[in-house]
Amino acid sequence: MDLKKMMDYSFSQQTVETWQQKAEEALQGKSIDSLSRETYENIQLKPLYTKEDVNEKTLSQFPGSGDFRRGSEALGYIGNPWEIAQRIVAENPEDFKEKLKDSIAKGQTAIAFIPSVSIVKELPELITNYYQSYPFSVNGAQFQNEIIYGMAALQNSEKISGYVGKDPISLFAKQGGEKDYLDSVYDRLVETIQAASSACPRLKTLLVDTPVYHNGGANAVQELAIALSTAVHHIEQLKSRGMGVKDILNKLVFHFSIGSQFFMEIAKLRAARSVWSKIVEAYDAAPEAEGKMVISAETSWYTKTAYDPYVNVLRASNEAFAAILGGIQFLHVSPFNEPEGRATLFSDRMARNTQLILKEEASLSSVVDPAGGSWYVESLTNQLMEQAWTLFLKIEEKGGILPALQSNWLQEEIKEVAVKRQKDIFSRKQSIVGINKYANLEDTPLKVEFSEDLKTISSTVRPVQQTRLAEPYEKLRKRAEKLAKEKTSPAVGLVCLGKLKNHKARADFISDILAPGGIKTVRSREVEEINDAMNFVNETKFHHYILCGSDDDYRAVGLAIVKAIKSNFPKAMLYLAGLPERADQKVLLDNGISQFIHLKSICYEIAASILAEMEAE
């Protein structure tokens, strides 16, 4: 082809049908539907999205308009960059003062901290050099009143911006309690909001705080619906106490946790703005208020792990990236050692620099809504909007967020999703790197205290249980470590039948299955005959052995080896990697095999049962 023909050449028009045909050829007979999967939101994810999946006429063409999915501001972060709001955890006022100074010098752009009695008491003095120049990003919780009144007394308090918010409902969901108690909390909240409005008019003081539900296992639809219902409850409570809707909306901030499902989390934030604009419209607020949803976010505590903790840096980076693409105004990136409940100078710096890299090096603050127009993201956004609205209406039919919690209906809905997540982790349908896959037995874990069932203040209201997803496996690892100290290091012998190519895949599989439980595997040399297996058992003297080989090797020598081991070592527990044909299974079970470990086995249950047997020895 000469240059002229090359310049005149055009590619032939392709269709979805053409792609589907090519894809199914690559799948070697499997249907293209085999690539689809269902999310915890009951959304069916397809392998390919096109413009046919979205009604283009309903999409917002530009940020700052339409349904505001593309952002509240026309210029996005170009005009208003998100605030780097790394929360400071300090032991005492002096420690807080030094950490705040250091954080701001190294890129922090907001005053964010965990309130405590000692810090709140001296807060006005501690923030003297910063409060007029940096916005606040604080969940005041039970300290909100003291924080607000302390700041109101500061000189030029009208320059204070950001938020020091409180969400009585999230505290109720986390701790349980009585409805009458909430009534008095709202009475006091109105007084605090009004005091702040007078002294600090730019400061927002009303919070919709959803991490308590996220950390209980809620899916994106539930988080959105709960956020809407909570916001509506706030509005109605404050209206009944004399506040106007416009004033209430002006003080409102939404706070979300951002999980590991990258595109779902982007869509969650985009959908939040869209459905919230409809709520605001329903209250007949000024049109400019519809798109002014202020969103604060934090990377997920629920997804973090105590083992292989540096992987948490990668998890938090992924979550922070999603949050920024979703269009937040404040962001806290959790330090990799967050499960310990504290941070170090190093982990704080790593977390803060994650945001700085995304802002300065990846230049995410220089582009407006980069996710806009993706058929996948737009389709997810639409489906989340529809499902969240349906669930929101269902909650309202039950009387609103408070009755839904008081009846424990909402807790059960969240628990149902949490159980599904746990089952997928146990079976390894869903991976947690370093926990249920690629576990490192030489790893030094973080020092954590595991979650316990919460005691309720009320006999009828159950708090939403806060448990990290990795905790069940981490508890297994702790049991294995305790066993190693008190008795012997948990180990299982792998009787590897035949040549390396015959047994390696199943031996690797078994090692990967047991390592998450803290159980080491020791492999034999290539076992060609009964004596090879017996020598290995004699050398190692373990109580548990697993045969690993090909189906042909199992048929050739497997049964004879099982009989020999059980004859000479009757107390030995024997397992077999793989799932033989039904007739062979019965013979093997009758002659001493305890269980078959295969791709459909529940990883967690296998490791837990073997560990329990070792503890009982």
Rounded to the nearest integer, the mean pLDDT of the chain is 94
Rounded distance between C-alpha atoms, residue 506 and residue 513, angstroms: 10
37, containing H or E segment: strand 37-38
Question: Which whole-number Å values give the CA distances from 272 to 221, 336, 451, 539, in the listed order?
Answer: 10, 28, 30, 62
Is it the case that residue 467 has pLDDT exceeding 80? yes
CA angle 547, 550, 553 (to 5 degrees): 80
Q: For 2, left (φ over 0), alpha (ψ -120 to 50), or beta?
A: beta
Of the CA atoms within 13 Å of residue 129, those in its CB half-sphere come to: 8
Is it the case that residue 290 has pLDDT exceeding 90? no
Q: Please, which pLDDT band fits residue 25 given cuts at 50, 70 and 90? A: confident
Instruction: Render pLDDT for 52-66 as a digit per residue (tens, 0 to 9).
Output: 899 887 788 889 888
Give residue 507's pLDDT.
Answer: 98
**Poorest-pLDDT segment among 53-67, 109-123, 302-316, 589-603:** 53-67
Question: What would the DSSP string read from start to end of 523-546?
Answer: E-S-B-SHHHHHHHHHHH--SEEE
Question: Which whole-number Å values give the CA distances from 84 to 134, 135, 163, 205, 277, in the listed order?
Answer: 10, 10, 14, 19, 26
Residues 6+ apart with CB under 8 A from 410: 226, 395, 401, 404
Instruction: Give all strands (DSSP E) within 196-293, no chain letters.
Output: 203-209, 252-258
The model carries a pTM of: 0.94
Phi then psi for residue 278, to 5 deg, are: -75, -35
The 3-class SS string of 557-615 reads: HHHHHHHHHHHHCCCCEEEEECCCCHHHHHHHHHCCEEEEECCCCCHHHHHHHHHHHHH
Dihedral sign, CA of 452, 458, 460, 464? negative
Residues 6+ apart with CB under 8 A from 287: none
- Tell me, what amino acid is at 134? Y
* Percent residues over pLDDT 70 in the chain: 98
Provide the b/e sequence for 238-259 (b: ≥16 CB within 10 Å). Answer: beeeebebeebbbbbbbbbbbb
**Poorest-pLDDT segment among 126-135, 287-296, 312-321, 509-518:** 287-296
Q: Residue range 439-456: average pLDDT? A: 81
Q: Please, which pLDDT band fits residue 461 given cuts at 50, 70 and 90? A: confident
* Token duo for residue 87: 């929360």
Nearest C-alpha neighbor of 267 from the set 155, 367, 386, 153: 386
Residues 6+ apart with CB under 8 A from 337: 309, 312, 343, 344, 347, 446
Domain 52-406 fold: TIM Barrel (3.20.20)
Is it the case that residue 169 has pLDDT exceeding 60? yes
Instruction: Render pLDDT for 319-372 as a digit per residue (tens, 0 to 9).
Output: 999 999 999 999 999 999 999 988 999 999 999 999 999 999 999 999 999 999
Nearest C-alpha neighbor of 359 from the set 159, 77, 103, 617: 77
Rounded distance between C-alpha atoms, residue 71 and residue 69, angstroms: 5
SS3 state at 252: strand
Residues 6+ apart with CB under 8 A from 586: none
Give residue 381's pLDDT.
Answer: 96
**CB-based contact 337:296 (threshold 8 Å):** no
* Token duo for residue 35: 């690539």
Q: Residue range 418-432: average pLDDT? A: 97
Give residue 574's pLDDT.
Answer: 98
**CB-based contact 206:248 (threshold 8 Å):** yes
Rounded distance between C-alpha atoms, residue 363 and residue 456, angstroms: 47
Dihedral sign, CA of 174, 180, 183, 184? negative
Question: Per 3-state DSSP, what percentage of the chain is helix, strand, and coil (rounded to 5)?
Answer: 50, 10, 35
Give residue 458's pLDDT.
Answer: 47
CATH architecture of 477-616: 3-Layer(aba) Sandwich (3.40)
Instruction: Render pLDDT for 190-209 as a digit per residue (tens, 0 to 9).
Output: 999 999 999 999 999 999 99
Nearest C-alpha neighbor of 332 from the set 73, 82, 75: 82
Instruction: Give all strands (DSSP E) within 210-292, no chain letters.
Output: 252-258
Is it the case that residue 454 has pLDDT exceeding 60? no
Rounded distance between C-alpha atoms, residue 518 and residue 617, angstroms: 17
Q: Please, which pLDDT band fits residue 1 given cuts at 50, 70 and 90? A: low
Q: Where are the domains of the chain?
A: 52-406, 477-616
Cα 11 → chain centroid: 43
Rounded distance between C-alpha atoms, residue 273 and residue 459, angstroms: 37
Instruction: Render pLDDT for 517-538 as a digit per residue (tens, 0 to 9).
Output: 999 999 999 999 999 999 999 9
**Poorest-pLDDT segment among 50-64, 218-232, 529-543, 559-573:** 50-64
Give residue 8's pLDDT.
Answer: 75
SS3 state at 90: coil
Question: Which whole-number Å values give the CA distances from 451 to 327, 468, 510, in the listed order?
Answer: 32, 8, 29
Helices (H) and strands (E) in the chain, counts: 23, 14
User: What's the longest Cα–Cα distance across the chain?
Assistant: 88
CA angle 174, 177, 178 (to 5 degrees): 145
* Token duo for residue 77: 């972060």
Q: Please, which pLDDT band fits residue 456 given cuts at 50, 70 and 90? A: very low
